[in-house]
Amino acid sequence: MTQGVLPFKYEEGKTQSGMTALAGLPLYLDLAKVIGLSKSIQQHLKIRKKSQGWTDSQVVSSLVLLNLAGGSCVEDLKILEADEGFCEILRKSELHGLRRKVRRALARRWRKEKKRSVPSPSAVFRYLSSFHDPEQEKIRKQTSVKAFIPAPNEHLAGLEQVNKDICASLNSANPHKTATLDMDATLVETNKKDALWCYKGFKSYQPLNTWWHEQGVILHTQFRDGNVPAGFKQLSVFKKALDCLPDGVEKVKLRSDTAGYQHDLLRYCEKGDNERFGRIEFAIGCNVTQAFKIAVAQVSDSQ
């Protein structure tokens, strides 16, 4: 490239040294190995168990790495595939520590020579369709309820178990007996044709996330359409999040904004209806209406 205003110019250099622009990703390959991510995926996600080609672990791991590399869509898998240095590390890491029998089994999954290091976008699109249940969409059309949450199929339930295993591994390495959980919805703006309008006036999705403060990770998430209010069936999501906590956790605290001001959720925490954790302390926001002011005024200072 010709020199511009500043006193330097670009020159293209061809090299076979295997340099990579994704030098931070191998650290996550180490982490995945330590927490047993591949083993958990193969145990709970059996979409590709009896298939040729890519394994469940290879597909899901590629999507995780894509997110870490800053990819925003499946087509961005080319970012990983184009980096020869990273691809070499990825190939070697997949085989590290495997017995010869397992390596041969992986090789037999390919009828022809395996040339790619990560799955192609088309292969990933086909894989992701396994998490979609067309029957649930039929139910959506039959119901008059505007806020509809499709029931997860077995593969989505398996993915939840993978996240549960990750949280258990983290708490094993860094034990915490208390889990402070923050529940909040996140608006994800989108241009997808089938997306619905959120309360802020744009098309979006609105997943409800449960954040584990002590470990700094998402404990549980429920993907939702943009028109589903954050407080809709929040108690059922909270119960699922509690089930995701590892055995070492003994006490739970809940934090939420005004979306969490749901009587069934407050009653569940206050009365200690959960068999494992009993009474759950909570700090939940509330709209200070005139009726609320009157009710608070009727409570004595001693209470």
Q: Are residues 122 and 167 in the same domain?
A: no
Q: Are residues 110 and 175 in the same domain?
A: no
pLDDT at 17: 67
Q: Does residue 87 lie within any of the structural domains?
A: yes
Task: Give 266's contacts (C-beta < 8 A, 6+ positions apart).
Answer: 282, 284
Instruction: Report the alpha-carbon distance of residue 161 to residue 100 in Å, rounded.
Output: 29
Structural domain of 81: 25-131
What are the structure tokens assigned to 174, written together?
């860094």
The total number of structural domains that make up the chain? 2
Q: Does residue 63 lie within any of the structural domains?
A: yes
Q: Are residues 109 and 199 in the same domain?
A: no
Q: Does residue 203 lie within any of the structural domains?
A: yes
Count CB atoms within 10 A of the CB of residue 153: 14
pLDDT at 20: 80
Helix (H) or strand (E) holding 212: strand 208-212
pLDDT at 154: 95
- Predicted confidence (pLDDT) per residue in 7-35, tens digit: 767 777 776 667 788 889 999 999 999 99
pTM of this structure: 0.86
pLDDT at 16: 66
pLDDT at 2: 59
What percent of the chain is helix, strand and coil (3-state, nearest 5)?
45, 15, 45
Residues in the chain with pLDDT values less than 50: none
Q: Provide the pairing of β-strand 251-256 with 281-284.
A: parallel
Answer yes or no: are the C-beta atoms of 9 and 2 closer than 8 Å: yes
